[in-house]
């Protein structure tokens, strides 16, 4: 009896806070915008979705968002892997200190940290002042309000989410395995690709998902650091909701974004399940 209640709890949670809201958003996405309270009609049509697919702006924005998030994810992986590897191989005492340093930024508000980057990167900010003072440049270089700034913000903010799962899978790995590969004739780099990489893959996948999913819908970073032309889907969603007050269209945008994220994850999980089956 108690067992059933316990098992039911997470399902109930998902039903209440995920499935029900999703159903509401889905319903709104099928309606038309109207003036009033609530600002949508009771109509049911796919007009909003048709509009999303007919206006190139949305397709371009989705693709840009996917591209930016994917690039940020790869950058995080490229930076995070050596860091996670280094932490996993350091002595026990240093290890907890380094992990602490990775988590430390979370103690400061996310918004505040992004603001700090504005201060660092604006035309008369710390970085430009330093470059001017040293004499590397004659006039400030445009850092803020560029895609570069968005990448800096994304990578900076989401790097810990990459490092922690990577660390978890690398820390468990037996160092003897790498030596065994070398002993059997693999060079250092060969041993890495034959042993370390495949064994770290669960961590790589988890880290990539943890970075990619929030990055794709990220609103604050592109809004504060990105240029006016760097329209991303999070921004579109926000504008449709709060500027145009077109709830149905905004909901449609959200539903499409969700599908965009869910489909690859489901595929990935199926792949992993099959992988595990062949192992078990």
Q: Please give the residue ranges that form the binding site for another protein (CB under 8 A).
A: 174, 176-177, 179-187, 190, 194-195, 198-199, 278-280
Burial class (CB in 10 A: 0-12, 13-18, 19+), 25: middle
How far is residue 66's CA from residue 233's CA, in Å, rounded to a whole number?
A: 9
| Cβ at position 280, least distance to another protein in Å | 8
**32 versus 194: smaller Cβ distance to another protein:** 194
| Cβ at position 138, least distance to another protein in Å | 50
**93 versus 136: smaller Cβ distance to another protein:** 93
**190 versus 274: smaller Cβ distance to another protein:** 190
Q: What angle, rounded to 10 degrees, do the helices at 126-134 and 110-121 form? A: 30
**140 versus 202: smaller Cβ distance to another protein:** 202
Q: Is 55 left (phi over 0), alpha (psi -120 to 50) or beta?
A: beta
- Contact of 197 with 178, CB cutoff 8 Å: no
**105 versus 198: smaller Cβ distance to another protein:** 198
**134 versus 184: smaller Cβ distance to another protein:** 184
How far is residue 250's CA from residue 31's CA, in Å, rounded to a whole number?
A: 11
Structure-block tokens of residue 72: 């940020």
| Cβ at position 205, least distance to another protein in Å | 14
- Cα–Cα nearest to 84, from 74, 72, 98: 98
Write out the E strands in the chain. none
- Cα–Cα nearest to 224, from 126, 128, 163, 157: 157
- Cα–Cα nearest to 78, from 135, 141, 151: 151
């Amino acid at each position: 009896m108690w067992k059933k209640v316990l098992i039911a709890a997470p399902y109930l949670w998902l039903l209440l806070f995920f499935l029900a809201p999703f159903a509401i958003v889905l319903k709104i996405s099928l309606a038309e915008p109207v003036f009033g309270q609530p600002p949508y009609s009771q109509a049911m049509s796919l007009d909003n979705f048709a509009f999303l697919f007919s206006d190139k702006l949305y397709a371009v924005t989705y693709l840009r968002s996917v591209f930016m998030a994917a690039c940020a994810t790869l950058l995080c992986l490229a930076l995070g892997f050596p860091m996670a590897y280094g932490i996993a191989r350091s002595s026990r005492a240093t290890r907890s200190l380094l992990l602490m340093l990775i988590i430390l930024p979370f103690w400061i508000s996310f918004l505040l940290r992004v603001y700090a980057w504005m201060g660092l990167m604006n035309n008369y900010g710390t970085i430009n002042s330093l470059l001017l003072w040293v004499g590397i440049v004659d006039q400030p270089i445009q850092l803020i309000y560029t895609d570069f700034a968005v990448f800096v913000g994304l990578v900076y903010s989401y790097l810990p989410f990459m490092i922690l799962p990577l660390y978890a899978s690398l820390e468990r790995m037996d160092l003897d395995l790498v030596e065994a590969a070398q002993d059997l004739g693999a060079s250092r780099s060969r041993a890495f690709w034959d042993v370390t990489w495949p064994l770290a893959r669960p961590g790589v996948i988890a880290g990539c998902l943890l970075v990619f999913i929030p990055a794709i819908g990220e609103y604050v970073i592109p809004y504060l650091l990105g240029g006016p032309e760097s329209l991303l889907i999070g921004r579109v969603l926000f504008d449709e909701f709060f500027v145009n007050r077109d709830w149905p269209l905004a909901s449609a945008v959200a539903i499409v974004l969700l599908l965009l994220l869910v489909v690859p994850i489901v595929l990935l999980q199926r792949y992993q399940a099959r992988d595990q089956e062949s192992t078990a």
